Chain A
């Protein structure tokens, strides 16, 4: 096994003595895709902010590999309307060379927007821009906070596919928060269901049968996930066309009945 990129041991974050993240253990190594799911107010964002170093842990240990470069894709890019900004300028603010920025935009499929104003981008385009921004830094660890927000349903599947491909290309670790349970289950190696504490964690197939998961999300969700997996044998690209499932499921441990 390789050295872990990030290791959390018994990490607790409390606001006014109320624990928002409660004794969480988490290890992410190169090549891992860890998805954090959980109801609203479960402490998902607080947990990843702790990993990012923005939020200080109240107790517990956070160890980070030396020289770790983190690429962060925040939930939103809400830009002040008074601040004029082009995609090019936003990318260059990363401090990376233009060629790196262009390559990253190319990779996330928004290279044609190089000279567009960030204000005029759609929700999906903004997410891809933020992803490109993170990629330009050539990260060891990619942290994404609900990357598919504001992206239409076909685009979501493509986006998660892209994230998985990026993991392979960069050989980086990935932590993401997601609400898109169906898509997450298909694209993830490991799922952590958070409700302040880790209520269950493991491989997607197992977790949807876990009693703690069923309790948190209800029978309907758990059952629909089970059903979904039976029928999930193809994917869509950005245009909604079906693409072959062979490469889409590469490295994924699905149990197709």
Chain B
């Protein structure tokens, strides 16, 4: 008990524990972002998280809940709008991503009695991790990982060949929605660590690093978790000792790992 209390009482360890929880889900979901070319989509959802925070203050609901709901709504809007095909998907994503971010910032500025640490929200804050956040992170991670495990074959199959998956009776549309729900959850929990602007990096970079060494999808997922854990623990340590912002430090570490793995893989080929 005393050890647990000592660990949870220390905000660095709380942040690290939280970060590891995030890395656990960011790995497999990041793989899907890379496989399905959803990087820009992930960015849009992450940016709309700020709008979610503003809305949470406005109607006074818990922040995490507000963010999840806003992300899910934006995701649904994206799916519906992309069906009309009046605008190219990347244009649509660009409009929604930046509008959501801007509306969130404007809305927050209208609430002078609400004191939020904007830099913390945008770039992550090592000091902000509470015990309650940890419950959210591990609860969310357990939910997402369970869902992923249950839906794994269908998700993978509809990623490989959507039509083939449909013919084989896989509910492609429902799985797409489930994936978006999972994204929204991960964004809500990852926001604290890396900030809304850098969440996509935490999803993509470990997955891309893992691709270099993996020979099947599950292997890639596991490696992405390992690289995510390295990025989070390395980055937070860096942030702790050098007093650098948490989110950017995690992303810089992830990027360094990426460079090393690619350089190493190139060497070993010769």
Contact = CB atoms under 8 A, between A and B. Distances in A.
A117 interface: yes
A49 B167 CA distance: 9
Nearest to B162: A54
Contacts of B215: 84, 86, 117
Contact of B156 (A70, A93, A133): A93
Contact of A74 (B34, B36, B164, B207): B164
A72 B163 contact: yes
Interface string B28-45: 000000111100000000
Contacts of A53: 166-167
Interface centre among A83, A86, A133 (most CB of B within 10 A): A83
B220 A84 contact: yes
Contacts of A89: 216-217
B161 to A, nearest CB: 6
A85 B35 CA distance: 12
B167 A93 contact: no
Interface in B215-230: 215-217, 219-220
Contact of B167 (A52, A77, A85, A90): A52
B211 A54 contact: no
Contacts of A84: 211, 214-217, 219-220
A95 B154 CA distance: 10
Interface in A139-180: 143
A82 B164 contact: no
A1 interface: no
Interface residues of A, number: 24
Interface string A201-230: 000000000000000000000000000000
Contact of A77 (B34, B153, B156, B161): B161
A137 B168 CA distance: 9
A79 interface: yes
Contact of B217 (A49, A52, A85, A137): A85
A86 B156 CA distance: 13
A137 B165 CA distance: 13
Contacts, number: 59
Contact of A83 (B35, B153, B163): B35
Given A89-B217, A93-B153, A74 B166 contact: no
A83 B159 contact: yes
Nearest to A92: B153
Contacts of A93: 153, 156-157, 160
B208 interface: yes
A70 B167 contact: yes
Nearest to B207: A82
Interface string A65-89: 0000010101001011011111001
A244 interface: no
A94 interface: yes
Interface string B163-192: 110111000000000000000000000000
8 contacts: A54-B163, A74-B161, A74-B163, A80-B159, A83-B160, A84-B215, A84-B217, A85-B160
Interface of A: 49, 52-54, 70, 72, 74, 77, 79-80, 82-86, 89-90, 93-95, 117, 133, 137, 143
- Nearest 7 interchain pairs by C-beta: A72-B167, A83-B35, A84-B214, A82-B34, A52-B167, A93-B157, A89-B216
Given A80-B37, A84-B214, A94-B168, 6 more contacts: A72-B168, A80-B159, A82-B207, A83-B220, A84-B220, A85-B160
